[in-house]
Structure 1
Amino acid sequence: MNRGFKIVSKYKDHNLSLPMRATEQAAGYDFASADDIVLPSIWKLNFLKVLWALKHQQKASEADMQAAQKVLKPYLIPTGIKAYMQPNEVLIIANRSSNPLKRGLYLPNGIGVIDADYYDNDSNEGEIFVQMINFGLTDRTIKKGDRIAQGIFMPFLIADGDELNPTNKRTGGFGSSGK
């Protein structure tokens, strides 16, 4: 087995589909939401209040700043999927081209990088989540099964002189390699 997808154990009885390519020449595998999720619009009262204050060079309260920041925080959409691949490969998670145009949905990190050692990690079994922010004017409901992103397997190169310590093992899930 070189590369592919499996359903994580907590979703084994939830009728999820494995990611698939939509056409014969498609590079990306479509990822869908594992649950119904409501993504709130960023254009909420606290955000607009702080934006107005900044525009008019006025100071916003710390409480208003924290509330506005909470509105801008990306939501993690569960896919219920994990991906296995070779050690010299990566799965890139990219936005679907229709999301910004038709739904106002963006991946705030541009792309997601799923390393080979994320698979079956101790923290979350390697479940892939998609970060999203809703820049639309109204809240957006994503239904279970809605396609939200695409995954592309790619090889990667290592720089000359890179001496990876073989004792460095991933010990956590989402965002754990940055610790």
Structure 2
Amino acid sequence: MERGFEVVSKYANEQLTLPYRTTQNAAGYDFQSAKEMIIPSIWKLNFLKVLWAIRHETAVTPDELEKAKRVLKPFLIPTGIKAYMNPNEVLIIANRSSNPLKRGLTIPNGIGVIDADYYNNEGNEGEIFVQILNFGIRDIQIAKGERIAQGIFMPYLLADQDDQAQKKTRSGGFGSSGR
């Protein structure tokens, strides 16, 4: 096994484009959105009400907190793509440099880490999603086929004390290897 990309079965008939490098010396493979969607701005009414209340040390109801929390939750943009790679490699999902600057879009966890055992694991097919948060003033429309992130394959090293006997078998996606 080397490394590469495949379309997940759910999107087999959707004419998706496999990730690609835009220039000859680009390190990252551009990932596109598998569907059209709107990423709402975090500056929505419920979030602002709670922010104001916290600032002024005013009581906030559990319902208001829940509504504000829903506004601040990252959105998952499906790519319809899975990646295969060697066991000693990782695919890093990074933001496109134009997203924060021009659109107010950020990857809230900084980068995404796609492990080799995410591919075709027992709990899912290994579809890659990109977590996005919109800190811009307006909602952002994402078109199907729009470039949303970039993926970079990298080797990684293990510590001398790495205990393979303690390792679990992956069985899912986000957070499947523990809390």
Shared fold per TM-score greater than 0.5: yes
Partner SS state of residue 92, structure 1: strand
The question of whether the paired residues in 1 share the 8 Å contact of 2:41 and 2:135 is answered with: yes
User: Which residue identity is paired with 1:139?
Assistant: D
Counterparts of 1:26-175 in structure 2 under 5 Å?
Answer: 26-165=26-165, 168-175=168-175
User: Which residue identity is paired with 2:86?
Assistant: Q
Partner SS state of residue 10, structure 2: helix
Q: Match for residue 10 of structure 1?
A: 10
CA shift, 1:136, in A, is 1.1
What is the rounded CA distance, in whole Å, between the counterparts of 1:58 and 1:166 in structure 2? Answer: 47
TM-score w.r.t. length of structure 1: 0.97
CA shift, 1:138, in A, is 1.1
Partner SS state of residue 178, structure 1: coil
What is the rounded CA distance, in whole Å, between the counterparts of 1:37 and 1:128 in structure 2? Answer: 16
What is the rounded CA distance, in whole Å, between the counterparts of 1:29 and 1:152 in structure 2? Answer: 6
TM-score w.r.t. length of structure 2: 0.97
What is the rounded CA distance, in whole Å, between the counterparts of 1:21 and 1:121 in structure 2? Answer: 26
Partner SS state of residue 176, structure 1: coil
Alignment: residue pair count: 179
The question of whether the paired residues in 1 share the 8 Å contact of 2:168 and 2:177 is answered with: no
Q: Which runs of 4+ in 1 moved over 6 A?
A: none
Partner SS state of residue 66, structure 1: helix
CA shift, 1:122, in A, is 2.3
CA shift, 1:174, in A, is 2.7
Q: Which runs of 5+ in 2 are unaligned?
A: none
CA shift, 1:167, in A, is 6.5
Q: 1:55 to 1:3 in 2, by over 3 A?
A: same
Aligned residues with identical type, % of pairs: 66
Worse-matched range after superposition: 49-58 or 148-157: 49-58
What is the rounded CA distance, in whole Å, between the counterparts of 1:14 and 1:63 in structure 2? Answer: 39
Q: CA offsets, 1:45-67, max 9 Å, x none?
A: 10000011111121211111110
Q: 1:167 to 1:65 in 2, by over 3 A?
A: closer
